[in-house]
Structure 1
């Protein structure tokens, strides 16, 4: 008998003793235990209404658990073994797609995985924290950058997200190849344009939000001041201040990232834009369909954010010149071939400026080239990630920690000797990506 059931039986016996030995009324018992009179009656009924009975026949009153076809559990095992990192909620979501009318509950799937040694296991008991939440949607947003996440040939990615504190609704989220401050502003622009301006935004003390001295004056804080939004900052080294967003990052890792890594490993030609399209589809599901245990009635976040009469709505009253906040500048010297090199690409410059230094302003989809204050030329520009060779090969790590690929030895790690890794070529064969259990282990220059 588990601890939870034992405590329940002890409580039922105490109610019986107080009722029959001490003569307490049903009303007095209800007040003492903080329950309704109907609940007290039910507790006594579960003890068969007998003063001498010491058994709790709770299991008999609940009926037999529902049975499911064996093929469903075979599918659960197959899904889990295919990608062992998949969590029970993610496994249930995949099973639901294949068996939409007859699928097990989350607790049944967790029990099956645990009984068959497929569970990822639980951590140590966690310390409790005091809950807080703003009363009105758009009163406070939280913004943060998740730690670096590696995804197949896309390598290192950074997730920047904005969450409404009252409803847990994700007002903006997107993956980027870097965590620079202009990417933060892109997410802000998307969220504010679509949902209006919040009163406050809570951020941590990263350099994207504060300068290196921990003071205000960054592009981020100047933009918020320009928009009439108050920036507030979390206590240093205390991530619990943004606990809702940190917890959501965990949900992304458990319910999206594992599946996305598996998909992108199978499709090495997919781009970052493809990844974000897949992610935005998942975010829409999270906002509108996933039930949230931290919200009243366990409703999805959109139910509260979009339908609350308390929701604050402050749309932009005038057009914002977002380019002013997003561009980056740099300088280059024009070659004798009337070209400049910028981020590994060559761009033509009109004749007559050979040897001169020009100023480059990079926007989201173009670059402008200036000589002093004169615009020379505009080039379309969209950074791209080079695709991989689709061919996959495996190698076994030797006792000295190396693998052999096309006649060349590459050192991996002697601690991983005996492990089988998967190899994919990147950057037109110039780099090798080494995977272990679908996680990028190492990038090697050939």
Structure 2
């Protein structure tokens, strides 16, 4: 017996057989309230009123309004086509910026799943499995790296970026055919002038960032000497372990997705225009999950900035050489060859250089005699001696004819 037939039997047992409501409730194991409901429906609609009805609520006050639902779908498609982040957090932020009431991110995610706009990734590693670290203050750590982009001709060019670890604020984004050590130094100098010196930097082991860890001769490069001059602590990731620079690696994915959504530029200048547009949008018009749904610009300016608070590790090294025919020796300092004046009187002599940061003491390798002392000026190639501390060579006395018994009188 289906529900409609049972309801009809209950009603007719009361109306046609004269059972009381209490007797019918006991016989059919239902409540008296339910029998009253059935009788009311029968009197109003007849047998059709006894059909089973949905138990779902007639109204859904928590349901997403259709106009808001359509706006969520529009934002998802628009942001995706633009190469920008289009996750539930970003969509909610854009709704709020437009003055709309944003549903929870879980509601937005369910809506996107229902529309087939999210591709399931069951094998994706869960976020909870990652060991994360984050600087407590702006300028506590700057991450830097070099990625690449392509022009319309297929030419591959490099892109240098600096990212604040705490706020994800994009400090620098520049394109060039290839970046050299001096170009990295110039970029860092500009950033220090504009934003103040950071407490530390984190990079990979590329030669433009470090020479001391690459097994190269010549001591520290220009970037390392600049950090030392400002007492900035230098940190380098383990080779073959890009997870150490995870934030900037993740940033590169965002950058490349944005560039891939646009036609490839014809020149490096055109690429730079795209990068400038991206940087403005990334910093000011894109919330970040790790910054409490604030933009990187808001997070970077919300707290006082960290400053260098540890003494940088000093440089100590030695070098042996021979004074050349011009009375000079060569020394690589801050990534450039410097020529130290020793003096023509010492041409051909083997020498030992003791280098302590920017101070160099040159001695004769055989006798230990101090030949010259230098204080390196990083703006010049030739470095004159500060003070000649060696004694002048004694001139041989003229031969004494009387002292030679073999000489004829």
Normalization by structure 2: what TM-score?
0.49
| Structure with higher strand content | 1
Compare CA radii of gyration and give the structure with the larger one. 2
